[in-house]
Amino acid sequence: MKAIKQDSATSINPLPKLQEDDIQFLLDAISSYLNVKVQRTDVLSAWSGIRPLATDPSAKSTESISRDYVVCEDYPGLVTMSGGKWTTYRSMAEDAVNAAIKSGKLTPKNECLTTELQIIGGDGWDSASFTVIAQKYTLMKLSSHGGKLVPQVMDTVAAKHLSHSYGTFADRAAAIAQKQELDKATKFLETFKCLEIA
């Protein structure tokens, strides 16, 4: 399992290190989510990085430092985009192209097409497809009676997440997730045979 703690202020350091209080924060969050006490000894690896925040060069104060991205033209004809996340790449692309069009005084034949372009999994996707995923796949849970694995219905939130994240590949993603969950739960039971489930 991978757990991520988002931004916290730090000093610039060539070798950023994850702090123990950050690790403990994640362990506490995971434990409450899984209803299993996860301990520091369960952590196999931990790492940290520094993400620079983009500052708009035309801003009057540092209050506008952005966690998002900034598109600007520092020199005539040189459009720069800084910051951003891969989850906003379409907006970033559109803004950068629009800035280049404006800077170069170009006259494109049409508006930006990025919102109309389909990415992998988008071809044939239907916004109601999550219902099929929810009905077709189950989540394996430990029962409170005897500690046996029992299937439970996948909730709508999980099914919608898979559908919206993976599109027409949601079916494959759900199948993989279901198999991994079953394998993980089976291994867990084999490892902790004497575990008493309340």
Short-list 30, 176, 197, 28, CA closest to 188 = 197
Q: Which domain holds residue 35?
A: 1-50
Distance set, CA 193 to CA 15, 142, 151, 183, 186 (Å): 42, 13, 19, 15, 10
Dmax over CA atoms of the chain, in Å, equals 73
Distance CA 104, CA 87 (A): 28
Q: Is residue 21 included in any domain, yes or no? A: yes
Looking at the structure, tell me whether residues 11 and 40 fall in a common domain.
yes
Looking at the structure, tell me whether residues 44 and 68 fall in a common domain.
no
Percentage of residues of the chain with pLDDT beyond 70: 72
Q: Is residue 56 included in any domain, yes or no? A: no
pTM of the model: 0.48
Looking at the structure, tell me whether residues 3 and 43 fall in a common domain.
yes
Q: Is residue 198 included in any domain, yes or no? A: no
pLDDT of 105 higher than 90: yes
Rounded to 10 degrees, the C-alpha dihedral 166/171/176/178 comes to 120
Looking at the structure, tell me whether residues 3 and 42 fall in a common domain.
yes
Confidence band of 61 (pLDDT split at 50, 70, 90): low
Most confident of 42-46, 72-76, 154-158: 72-76
State pLDDT tens for residues 27-57.
Answer: 888 777 676 788 888 888 887 877 767 777 7
User: Looking at the 3D structure of the chain, how many domains does it have?
Assistant: 3
The residue type of 44 is L
Q: Is residue 164 included in any domain, yes or no? A: yes
Looking at the structure, tell me whether residues 70 and 43 fall in a common domain.
no
Looking at 27, 50, 73, the residue that finishes a domain is 50
Percentage of residues of the chain with pLDDT beyond 90: 12
Looking at the structure, tell me whether residues 72 and 41 fall in a common domain.
no
Looking at the structure, tell me whether residues 142 and 162 fall in a common domain.
yes
Q: Is residue 28 included in any domain, yes or no? A: yes
* Cβ-based neighbours of 58, under 8 Å, separated by 6 or more: 72
Looking at the structure, tell me whether residues 98 and 145 fall in a common domain.
no
Q: What is the pLDDT of residue 128?
A: 92
Q: Is residue 165 included in any domain, yes or no? A: yes
Confidence band of 172 (pLDDT split at 50, 70, 90): confident
Looking at the structure, tell me whether residues 79 and 36 fall in a common domain.
no
Q: Is residue 122 included in any domain, yes or no? A: no
Confidence band of 13 (pLDDT split at 50, 70, 90): confident
Name which residue leads in pLDDT, 115 or 71.
Answer: 71
Looking at the structure, tell me whether residues 34 and 84 fall in a common domain.
no
Looking at the structure, tell me whether residues 178 and 158 fall in a common domain.
yes
Q: What is the pLDDT of residue 192?
A: 39
Looking at the structure, tell me whether residues 39 and 83 fall in a common domain.
no
Q: Is residue 187 included in any domain, yes or no? A: yes
